């Protein structure tokens, strides 16, 4: 526990590089530590969204009910 009071912000962990990042209005890239880390994270997010495409997982195997002759 730190008793240091920092009104300007606090140090958080950068989601990209896991380094120290200043979470304050002084840091426009928060919660990232730098513009580079922010861009890296955004790039990862963008590429991830690109992978979301129509998957052929519509396998209609509804063979639960047997079709016996009536």
Closest listed residue to residue 18, CA positions, set 36, 4, 37, 2: 37
Segment interacting with Zn ion, rule: CB under 5 A, options 3-11, 16-24, 44-52, 58-66: 16-24
Closest CA to 41 of 7, 18, 62: 18
In degrees and rounded to multiples of 5, residue 36 shows phi and psi of -60, -45
Q: Does 22 bind Zn ion (CB under 5 A)?
A: no
Nearer to Zn ion, 19 or 43 (CB): 19
Among 9, 11, 12, 17, binds Zn ion (CB under 5 A): 17
14 lies in the site for Zn ion, by CB under 5 A: yes
């Amino acid at each position: 526990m730190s008793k240091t009071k920092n009104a300007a912000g606090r140090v958080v962990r950068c989601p990209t590089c896991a380094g120290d990042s200043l979470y304050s209005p002084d840091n426009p890239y928060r919660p990232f530590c730098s513009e580079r880390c922010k861009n890296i994270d955004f790039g990862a997010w963008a590429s991830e969204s690109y992978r979301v495409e129509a998957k052929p997982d519509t396998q209609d195997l509804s063979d639960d009910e047997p079709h016996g002759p009536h």
